[in-house]
Amino acid sequence: MTQLRTMAQSNGFQQGEKRDFSRKKLKELPREVLAPGNVQNLYLQNNRLKQVCGISALCNIRELNLSCNEFSEFPGEIGELQHLEKLYLNQNCISKIPDGIFSRLEKLEFLKLSTNRLATLPSDLGNCKRLQYLNLSNNCLRDLKALEGLSSLKELYVKSNNLTDLPTGIFLNADLTMFKAAGNPLREPPEEVCMGGVKDIQRYFMMLGSSGQCVRRVKTMFLGSSMAGKSTICRSLREGSPVQVDAADRTVGIEISEVEMRGIKFLFWDFAGHEEYYFTHHVFITPQALVILTINLASYDVNNPQSFKDSVSFWINNVKLRVPESVVLLVGTHADQCMGTADVQEKKADIETKVAAMLKERKANLEMRIKNIEEDQEDPAQLRALQKFTKQKLKVLDLVPMDCTKTEDIENFQNYILCQVQDKDLFPSIERTLPHRYQEVESSIQDLKENKDIPEHGIMSIEDILIDLNTKLGELDREDLQCILRYLHRIGIIVWYVEISALQETVFVEPSFLIKLFKTTVRHDLVNQLQDITRDQLVEERSLVIHRDRWIDDLKGKATLHNAAIRVLLRKSLQELEMDDDDIVKEIVGTRSRDGKFLDLLRHFEICLPAQLSSPLNPQAPIFFPNRKWEPSKPSVHNPGACLFPNYLRDNGTVLKMWGEDSNEDIQVQVYFLPEVPHGFFHRLIIRACSFYPTHWVGKDHCLVSSSNRLVLLKEKCARGDQLIEIRCRRPDRAHLCTDAQMWRSSWDMMLVVLQKLTLLTHQWPGLCLYVCSPCRVDTCSAHFPWMDWKDLDGSDIYNMVKEEKLLCSHGHTHQAELLFPKVPRDIKSDDE
C-alpha cells in the first residue's frame, strides 16, 4: 500500500503539507526534505537512513514514517516534534529508547515499533496518555510494566517477544479491545488464555486474585509413518512398561490420552500414520508441543533417499510449516529387528546427518534468497518475510534408538523425555499459573468422565456443564465457565468450536470421540466401509442396495460421497460406539431435510465441498420471461445432496476436458511455495475457490472455476524442483455489452479472488513463504515479474500496482502491463505485444 501511495503521489510536495521521499535509497536526508514549510506528513520509509539530523525543524509534523530504515539508535530529535500524532519506526534495528522522549510527545496516538531489537521500554512511555495504537511485536521485551499508565490504549500488539508475565494494570483499561501476544513464553496468563482476547485475560486476572496454582503440562504429538510404532510407544509410556499393539490395530484419525509423569502432565496425541489422514493433521498440530517423530529403524534404508523422505523429512517439513519453532524428538523403534548394534548406530547417524544437512540446506537457501533480494533491491515486503523465517528455529533432537518390547528401553525413554521437557531453553513455557477456578473446572470435568456421570460420547451442552459444575463447585459464572472452556479447548483437553454457529452450545468433553467421528469419512478403506453396509442399515435410511452401489461408484469415479451414505456410515459407527441417545444421534447425523452437526464440522475443517449430484440444468424447466411469474417444473429435479472430498480424486480428466490446452495467450500468475506446498493446502484452496464460484470442475491437482463465461484454472505443480500453484485465465476477448476496461477487470478480478483465498489460507501455515510473480509471456524466456507488496493491496489499489503501460523483462521482452498485472489498460491496441 505504501508503495502505491508513493507512486500515486509521486515524489515531492503535495498541497504544501505532505512530503513523500519513501523508497529512494536515501542514506541521509536531502535538503528538500528539510526545506522550510508547513509539513504535516513526512514519508521516509524504505530508505537506508541511520539518522534524521535536522528533522526537529519541521516542528508541525503530525505523521512521520521512518519504517524500514537502518536506525540502530532512536532518533532523539523526535522528542521535539510536539505535534506528532503518528510515528512509524518499525523494521529498524533499534535496541534502546532513552527516557525523556515520550514524555514530550503528548499528542501521540499511534506508535509502531515492531521488528526492532528492544529489550526494555523507556519508563516515560506511560505518559503518552493519548496513545491508542501501540505495536511492539517482534522485539525482545521481557516485561510491559512501562505501559501501565496508557489509559487510552485501544490496540496493543506484543507478539514474539520474551514476555513471561503481563501486568494486570494494562487490562483494567476498558478501552483496550485488541491485544495480541502470540509467540511469547507466557506463564501468567498462559498464551492459550491470551488467545481468547482481552475479555478472557480480564476474567483470568479476576479469577486469579492474589494467588494461583502452578501447573506443568506438555502436549505431546506422536507423528511418523504407519507401523512406525507410535501407538506402541504412546501406550507403553502411559503404562510404564511395554504394551504390545496388534499389527492389525491401525490408529484411525488421532488417539488422545493424558498421563502424569513426575508432576508433569503429558497430553498424548497419537496421529494415525496412514497417508489418508495426513491432510487433517495440520489442524491439530499446535504450537508449544513436543513432537515425537517415530521412525521404524528396521525398515529404514540408508541407501534409499525415498526412505528418509517418507519416514523423516516429510514429517519434519510438515511440522515446520505449521509450527515453525517446534521441538522434534526423533525416536527409532524396532531396534531389536535391526542387524545388531552397528546397524542401529549406522541408521541413527545417517538420519541425524541427513536431518542436519536438510536444515542447513534450507537455511542456505533462505540466505541466498535474502541476498538476491537485497542485491536486486527488489521487494522489501518479501525480504522482511524471509528475514522473519531466519529467526524461526526448529529444534530437532538426536535420535533415541529403542526396542519397544523392552521395559528398560521404555523407562529410559520416559526419563529422556522428562529431562528434555524440563530444559527451559527448549520448553520455556511448560509452567503456567492458573487461577484455582481453572483447576477446579478441569478436575470436575475429568471426574464427570471418570465416574461415568456423562454419556461415553462426552457431548454436553454448556448449560449441562454449568448445572453439573454448579452442584459441585458452588455458584459458577457462565462467562467464567466459557472462558475456562476456551482455555481447555486450546490446550487440547476438550473440544469446543465456538466459531461454528451450529456448535456454539456443544462441547465435546471427550475429544477422541470427535476424532472417531472423523474417521467415518476420512479413512483409507472408505470403499470397503460402504461395501459393508448391510441391508438393515440401508433400510433405516430408506435406501436400497442399488443406492449403495451408486454411492460406491460416485465415490470411486467422482470422489463424491452422498449425504445419505454419510448418514448411514455415521449411524453405523455411533452404534459401534454404543451410542443410543436417539436425539443426539439425530443431531449429529442429521436427516434428509436437515444437515447434522457432523457435516458442519467437516465443512468447517474444509474437508469436503457440498456437491451437486445431478446436472444443475433441468431440461424440463419452463422458460423464464421477465415480469412473469416462473413456475418450477413438476416433478422438479431431485438433488439428494452430496459432498465432494477432493482428497479422493485420482485424475484431472473433467477439468482438462473443459479447459483444453494451456495457451501462451493465457494470463497467468504463479505462486511459488518455499519450501513446498503443504499437504492438504491445494484441497482446501479448491474448496474455498469452489465455494465462491458455484460453477466448477475439480480434479486431483487441477481445478477450474467459472463465472460469466470466464474460466480460471488452478494447478498445483512442480517446475524444476520448485513447487508452485499456477492461476490461469484465458486472455479476454472483445465481447459486446462489455467495454475493454470491464473485460480486463473481470478477468483479473477472478484471478485476484483466487489469490486472496490462497493468501488467507497460508495463515494456517506460518512457516510458509510465498513468491508471487507473473512469468514472461515469451515461451522460451525464464524471466519473471515479481508482484510487490501484493499482500497489502486492497481492492482500490490493486489496479495501480504498476504505473507503466508496458513492461520489459530482464531478457528484453516487452509486454502490455495488463497481461502481467491487474491493470485496466488505458488504451487497448489491436496488437498488444
Ligand X SMILES: Nc1nc2c(ncn2[C@@H]2O[C@H](COP(=O)(O)OP(=O)(O)OP(=O)(O)O)[C@@H](O)[C@H]2O)c(=O)[nH]1
**Residue ranges that bind ligand X, judged by CB under 6 A:** 224, 226-232, 244-245, 247, 249-251, 272-274, 294, 333-334, 336-337, 403-405
Q: Give every strand in the sheet of 722-729, ordered side by side.
A: 695-698, 702-707, 710-719, 722-729, 667-674, 769-775, 784-786
> DSSP string covering 91-160, please?
SS------TTSGGG-TT--EEE--SS--SS--GGGGG-TT--EEE--SS-----GGGTT-TT--EEE--S
Please state the closest distance from residue 338 (CB atom) to ligand X, in A.
10
245 versus 564: smaller Cβ distance to ligand X: 245
Q: Reduce the DSSP state of residue 470 to 3 states and report it.
A: helix
Nearer to ligand X, 232 or 520 (CB): 232
Report the distance separating Cα 531 and Cα 379, nearest Å: 55
The three-state secondary structure class of 766 is coil
Cα separation, 451 vs 470, whole angstroms: 17
Whichever of 273 and 511 has its CB closer to ligand X, that residue is: 273
Shortest distance (Å) from residue 270 CB to ligand X: 7
CB closer to ligand X out of 200 and 403: 403
Distance from C-alpha of 291 to C-alpha of 297, rounded to nearest angstrom: 18
Cβ of residue 251: shortest distance to ligand X, in angstroms?
A: 3
Which CB atom, from 230 or from 457, has the smaller least distance to ligand X? Answer: 230
What are the two backbone dihedrals, phi and then psi, of residue 252, each rounded to the nearest 5 degrees? -115, 120
Rounded CA-CA distance 123/711 in Å is 59
Cis amide bond preceding 189, omega within 30: yes
Decide whether 120 or 512 has the Cβ nearer to ligand X: 512
**Whether 228 contacts 295, CB under 8 Å:** yes
Minimum distance from CB of 50 to ligand X (Å)?
A: 55
What phi and psi values does residue 259 have, to the nearest 5 degrees?
-145, 145
- State the minimum distance, in angstroms, from the CB of residue 247 to ligand X: 4
Cβ neighbour number for residue 28 with a 10 Å cutoff: 13
Q: Considering beta carbons, is residue 334 or 519 the nearer one to ligand X?
A: 334
- Give the separation between CA 809 and CA 816, rounded to whole angstroms: 11
Among residues 576, 451, 452, 565, the alpha carbon closest in space to that of 516 is found at 576
Give the shortest CB-323-to-ligand X separation in angstroms: 20
| Shorter beta-carbon distance to ligand X: residue 250 or 265 | 250
Quote the least distance from Cβ 327 to ligand X, whole Å. 20
* 790 residue type, one letter: W
Longest dimension (CA), the chain: 89
Report the nearest approach of ligand X to the CB of residue 294 (Å). 6
Pick the closer one to ligand X by CB: 401 or 435. 401
| Nearest-approach distance from CB 72 to ligand X, in angstroms | 51
CB-nearer residue toward ligand X: 283 or 828: 283
Instruction: Name the residue nearer to ligand X (CB basis): 276 or 431.
Output: 276
> Least distance (Å) from ligand X to the CB of residue 225?
7
Judged by CB, which is closer to ligand X: 229, or 678? 229
Closest CA to 162 of 491, 428, 490: 428
Closer to ligand X by CB, 244 or 390: give it.
244
Q: Which three cell numbers stand for residue 608?
A: 469436503
How many Å apart are CA 680 and CA 317, to the nearest integer?
A: 13
For the bound state, the minimum distance from the C-beta of residue 228 to ligand X, rounded and expressed in Å, comes to 4
Kindly tell me which of 228 and 566 has the beta carbon lying closer to ligand X: 228
Q: Which residues contact 368 (CB under 8 A, 6 or more apart)?
A: none
CB of 237 to ligand X, least distance (A): 12
Distance in Å, CB of 271 to ligand X, minimum: 7
Place of cell 523392552: 406
Please name which of 382, 361, 355, 358 lies closest in space to residue 370, comparing C-alpha atoms: 382
Closest CB to ligand X among residues 270, 379: 270
Long-range Cβ pairs for the range 728-737 (8 Å, 24+): 728/662, 728/666, 728/667, 728/668, 729/666, 729/667, 729/668, 730/663, 730/665, 730/666, 730/667, 731/663, 731/665, 731/666, 731/667, 731/819, 735/709
Nearest distance in Å: CB 824, ligand X: 53
Separation of alpha carbons 253 and 279, rounded Å: 11
**Cβ 275 to ligand X shortest distance, Å:** 10
Contact 32, 54 (CB under 8 A): no
User: Which residue blocks in 272-379 are alpha helix, DSSP H?
Assistant: 278-284, 305-308, 314-322, 340-376
